[in-house]
Amino acid sequence: MVIIIQCEDRVGLVADIANVLAKAGCNIVSMREHVDSEENKFFVRIVADGIKDPQDIENAIKAVLPQKAIVRVDPKPEKNIVVLVTKEYHCLSDILTRNHFKTLGASVQCVIGNHPDLKNITERFGLPFYFVSHENKDKESFESELMHIILPFNPDYLILAKFMRILSPGFVYSFKLKIINIHHSFLPAFIGANPYSQAYKRGVKIIGATAHFVTNDLDDGPIIVQKITTINHSLKLGDLIKAGRENETAALVKAMQLVFEDRVFVYNNKTVVFE
């Protein structure tokens, strides 16, 4: 059973937490702890055996922690997600396949596309696809339609699997640190539109992809995972985009797995990832 804790640091914190577990007869199988000394922040992820009543343990741990601590004992093991897409199939197909074979660590509730292109593949896997065009309407109306579809599913995370629309601050705020995006560059290089085209023009020898939480600063949210591929002069722009797809798929699925297994903590626009 997983226990995650994020709070202010102080002397004796590990002892106090470990004592709660020891008294309850629980064995710590694995423990990853990190302290940011500059910021005085404490992060721990514990895997423990022998927990009988998670809520009891959670309360007992809370009682020994500083104010405002975040504690979760036995967080939901399978998250619910809603996937937003535009036209590109590679990230979505990978998600659908893993969801189908129950290796995603989450359950896809539905897919929403601002283009209808990926309806077919979604439905092949027996999942609902909602087409919500962004055309001929303002962002508010568009996002209100999205919300109308998303909210009933009460998802733990929204996955932007190559969803090419910028979401408004209001929308992002409603899903604070619950939206994961895949950006097709090695951030902070090539922020914004057409990163592959920028990379091609610059003649870089490595291209990347970045999975990150979405905040209101475009492509500037906390980074979860980055992946790269070595390229060379012989790749034209189209080849670069093709090579990049493998990266994007790999970075997004890795980020999802880390988040779904409660291995990712966020503070100061950065992440602590206990891989």
Q: Active-site positions? A: 219
Select from 62, 72, 87, 100 the one that contacts a second copy (CB under 8 A): 100
Each residue 104-133 as x (binds a second copy by CB under 8 A) or -, in order, gives -----------------x--xx--------
Q: Does the footprint of a second copy cover residue 33 (CB under 8 A)?
A: yes
Q: Where does this chain touch a second copy (CB under 8 A) — which range of 100-108, 134-142, 150-158, 171-179? A: 100-108
Q: What is the DSSP string of 14-59?
A: HHHHHHHHHHTT-EEEEEEEEEETTTTEEEEEEEEE--S-HHHHHH
Q: How far is the CB of 99 from a second copy (least distance, A)?
A: 11
User: How far is Cα 206 from Cα 39, in angstroms, rounded to an integer?
Assistant: 33
User: How far is Cα 259 from Cα 250, in angstroms, rounded to an integer?
Assistant: 14
Q: Does the footprint of a second copy cover residue 213 (CB under 8 A)?
A: no
Select from 39, 53, 103, 238 the one that contacts a second copy (CB under 8 A): 103
Select from 30, 59, 141, 144 the one that contacts a second copy (CB under 8 A): 30
Of residues 52-71, those binding a second copy (CB under 8 A): none
Q: Does the footprint of a second copy cover residue 93 (CB under 8 A)?
A: yes
**Total of chain residues touching a second copy, rule CB under 8 A:** 68
Beta strands in the chain (DSSP E): 2-8, 27-36, 41-49, 70-73, 79-85, 106-113, 129-131, 157-160, 179-183, 206-213, 223-230, 264-267, 270-273
DSSP bridge pairs for 225: 211
Select from 60, 73, 250, 256 the one that contacts a second copy (CB under 8 A): 250
Q: Does the footprint of a second copy cover residue 240 (CB under 8 A)?
A: no
What's 152's DSSP letter? Answer: G
User: How far is Cα 140 from Cα 167, in angstroms, rounded to an integer?
Assistant: 10
Q: Say how many C-beta atoms besides its own lie within 10 A of residue 39's C-beta.
A: 12
Q: Where does this chain touch a second copy (CB under 8 A) — which range of 72-80, 157-165, 168-176, 197-205? A: 197-205
Q: Does the footprint of a second copy cover residue 159 (CB under 8 A)?
A: no
* Count of CA atoms in the C-beta half-sphere (13 A) of 216: 7
User: How far is Cα 26 from Cα 1, in angstroms, rounded to an integer?
Assistant: 10
Q: Does the footprint of a second copy cover residue 206 (CB under 8 A)?
A: yes
Q: Does the footprint of a second copy cover residue 157 (CB under 8 A)?
A: no
For a second copy, the closer CB: 186 or 196: 186
What's 238's DSSP letter? Answer: H
Residue (of 178, 171, 169, 110) closest to 142 by Cα position: 171
Q: How far is CA 188 from CA 97, 184, 222, in A?
A: 30, 11, 11
Q: Where does this chain touch a second copy (CB under 8 A) — which range of 56-64, 95-103, 142-150, 163-171? A: 95-103
What's 190's DSSP letter? Answer: T
Q: Where on the chain is the footprint of a second copy (CB under 8 A)?
A: 9-19, 21-22, 25-35, 37, 44, 50, 89-90, 93-94, 97, 100-101, 103, 121, 124-125, 186-190, 202-206, 208, 222-226, 228, 232-234, 242, 246, 250, 268-273, 275
